A = this chain, B = another copy of it.
């Protein structure tokens, strides 16, 4: 079976939405990616760092999901990365209340020996040099490298980001970030410019408006499922990425056609993620629920036109 290496934060989140607020709960890009990818019963490893304050229960839980946690370094006298945010009424914008980097400040990812030959690598949102160091540890060239990033790195580490992007097959990025990275308003033109930077596939995430997958001159559009209520958007983008990369790892087919299905799986899992605080919904999600929602995605988008 194919193996998947994920690098990303494992963290504490404290979230406030119009529906309520949480204390410190399990969060972080690596966590959300890992949990989503784990739905595909693959061999995955999360590479990250936490402090001595991180509950063993959380690590045990991840292990139970068949996620290898030997790449999660524990710094006994350090504190775990902590993020706190408050969502506005429309749930589409938020204020960051607290960002404590803590142990993340000196994070040097170490890929476990038995994952250095993994076929797929998912570089969660981190400093591009940190992402690159994971690629440098691989003993054979992965068949697929997926990178997620954000505007913060474009502002403060653009050169390093360009260097890392060169080595990537797929980039996931939101619409505003795609525009910032390229200086182009049209997402079609922006995707073409990002292709030229290296990635053969460009996934542009548009939140409630879905996601676009670009490859050469082809494009595929996966809508987000229209929801009655978005309870907590935290982790939706990472869950999307985890579903995308988990499905590709499981199938071992990295073609554009198969990536369409992977995007639909990513959107489907993300639509669950936002129904509860943090990882709660992803922790209580069974295969039947996923299948039913995939079926909803089919109904949502499939139509029949006879072209004569």
A→B interface (CB under 8 Å): 89-91, 185-189, 206, 209-210, 212, 218-223, 226-230, 257, 260-261, 264, 291, 294-295, 297-305, 307
CB-based contact B226/A300 at 8 Å:
no
The distance in angstroms between the C-alpha atoms of A163 and B300, with both chains bound, is 31
CB-based contact A186/B229 at 8 Å:
yes
Work out how many copies of this chain go into the complex: 2
Could you show 11 A-B contacts with beta carbons less than 8 Å apart? Answer: A91-B185, A186-B227, A188-B226, A188-B227, A188-B228, A189-B228, A210-B221, A222-B303, A260-B303, A264-B303, A297-B305
Interface centre among A223, A227, A299 (most CB of B within 10 A): A223
Question: Which 8 pairs, one residue from A and one from B, show the smallest C-beta to C-beta distance?
Answer: A209-B209, A221-B223, A260-B303, A188-B228, A301-B301, A188-B226, A221-B300, A291-B307
User: Which residues in B have their C-beta under 8 angstroms from that of A295?
Assistant: 307
The distance in angstroms between the C-alpha atoms of A185 and B89, with both chains bound, is 9
User: Which residues in B have their C-beta under 8 angstroms from that of A91?
Assistant: 185
What is the predominant secondary structure among interface residues of chain A facing chain B? mixed
User: Which residues in B have their C-beta under 8 angstroms from that of A209?
Assistant: 206, 209-210
- Distance in Å: Cβ of A225 to nearest Cβ of chain B: 9
CB-based contact B300/A220 at 8 Å:
yes
CB-based contact B300/A219 at 8 Å:
yes
CB-based contact B228/A261 at 8 Å:
no
Once A89-B185, A187-B226, A229-B186 are accepted as A-B contacts, the answer to whether A304 and B261 lie under 8 Å apart by CB is yes
Once A300-B221, A301-B221, A303-B220 are accepted as A-B contacts, the answer to whether A212 and B226 lie under 8 Å apart by CB is yes
- Distance in Å: Cβ of A28 to nearest Cβ of chain B: 28
* Additional 8 contacts, C-beta under 8 A, given A212-B226, A261-B303, A302-B302: A188-B228, A189-B228, A219-B226, A221-B223, A221-B226, A264-B305, A298-B305, A301-B301
